[in-house]
Amino acid sequence: MMIDKMDKQKLLYGWCGEFGWEIITVIPEINVLQNDYDITLYGFHGTEGMYSDMNVTFVPHNLDQRGSGYGRNYGKTQWEQLDLSQFQYDVLRLHYHPDTKKIKVKKIPKIIREDINPQRKRKVTVHARMFSNSKTGRNWHENYNGALKYLIDNGFEIVFIGHPQCSEFLPQFGKDCRGLDMSETIMHIKESTLTLGPSSGPMVLSLWCATPVFTWSCGDTRMFHTDRGSDLWNPFKIKHFHPWSTNETKANIKLYRSAAYKPLLKEMMPGLEFAISQLEAI
């Protein structure tokens, strides 16, 4: 028996953490909680497009900085900046907020924006990560431009995604689609054969949009569908490639996991060529 929305308790649900963790935490929780609560989702401006096919009311907050992982002290400081009196709610579920209610729920993952289902194109989405204050192994390096040339020479269209302040656009290689509405970004990802870039939140977004990824540096092997924790990070078992996909020795996987290591182009290319060959064979 379905419960009418008017009879449901009002749940104020909020997030102030990292983007990748938002995907693996908020989406599967909301996917379940929307059945029992009238939900207002208080989230980062620009992320509404991830939830447009879910039964929630999205309200953007004005927080700019995302927390790094889970941290109650950080979260408490973040939420203290905001006025919650604008909301009427019965249950509070603000991650990291000291008064939040822990709702035990079996998270059920869902493909992000199931209403967006375009045809695949010969296209690669690129996130050329560039955090000025971050470990350089996770940033784009000009040597990687050779990988983009390889893709273009093999007939792939390239689009660049990401936040304009945290990623690069290389006009000689493709189209600047950074900073677009999240729905448009998701459309580009779902149209693509592959998403390529250093390990970061957009790689998780791609996996949850059912688009394979090629990534490196601090590449948490939880993204692998064979490793512990993969049910959280890659629940749909989407193909995941990296520079050493054809040579997964212990030494190479150690390099893959290192945040500071910048693979050379000659290390990257065998893995990328293998990824393209595998995807074209499907």
What are the sequence ranges of the domains in the chain?
5-94, 123-280
**Residue 68: what pLDDT?**
56
Under the banding of pLDDT at 50, 70 and 90, the label for residue 70 is: very low
Integer angstrom CA distances of residue 107 from 34, 66, 181, 195, 232: 12, 22, 27, 26, 9
User: Is the per-residue pLDDT at 279 higher than 90?
Assistant: yes
DSSP secondary structure letters along 26-61: HHHHHHHHTTTEEEEEEEETT-GGGSTTSSEEEEEE
Average pLDDT over residues 112-135: 90
CB 193 within 8 A of CB 156: yes
Q: Report the relative pairing of strands 194-196 and 123-126 from DSSP bridges.
A: parallel
Do residues 42 and 81 lie in contact, with contact meaning Cβ atoms separated by under 8 Å?
no
**Neighbouring residues of 87: CB distance < 8 A, sequence distance ≥ 6:** 12, 40, 42, 59
pLDDT above 50 (res 122): yes
CATH classification code of 123-280:
3.40.50
Q: pLDDT per residue over 151-204, tens digit each?
A: 999 999 999 999 898 899 999 999 999 999 999 999 999 999 999 999 889 999
The strand pair at 123-126 and 157-160 is best described as parallel
pLDDT, tens digit, 9 for 90 and up, residues 90-109: 999 998 888 887 788 888 99
5-94 and 123-280: same fold? yes
pLDDT of residue 134: 63
Give the chain's mean pLDDT: 89
Above 50 in pLDDT, residue 2?
no
Name which of 228, 58, 198 is nearest 137 in CA terms: 198
Closest CA to 19 of 92, 52, 72, 68: 68
Predicted local distance difference test score (pLDDT) of residue 80: 86
CATH 2.60.40 fits 5-94, yes or no: no
